Structure 1
Amino acid sequence: MPEAPITTTGTLHDAMHGRAWEAELPNGKRLVAHLPRRLQDLAPSLLPGTRVLLEMTPYDFDKARIAGLADHA
């Protein structure tokens, strides 16, 4: 049975290749966050400084999935 994702907020910093961003968690840890294809329409609103909702697996805290905008949750 898969583990439930860990949900948190983060701030986008630098755009990387494709749909990937460098994001920072509230505790200061930086990670790579990617935008899934189903949320591709959100891409134009993602800019450095944007607060987003992030989902992470409990097994890897260096990567996350962007789940939406934090201010619209």
Structure 2
Amino acid sequence: MNGEIGEKIGWPEMGRTVAEVVDRLPIDVRAETVVVADNYGQAGAIAQLSPDFSAQDMRFLPVYSGHQAYGW
């Protein structure tokens, strides 16, 4: 069994939560928003899944993690 599968538990909920928070931000604040995740797996999940749950266009929301230099 692939050990990475367990790392994915909760990713859709995390993506939904980030999308909900971003959707509540005022437009001027949203334009300056950056998401910083604890690790590259979380950062990737947020970048890939949050747009699916957002009412806003989140495709260009910057998502970074210092782990494995994700996003840099």
Give me the TM-score of the superposition, normalised by structure 2: 0.25
Which is richer in helix?
Answer: 2
Larger Rg: 2
Q: Which structure carries more strand by proportion?
A: 1
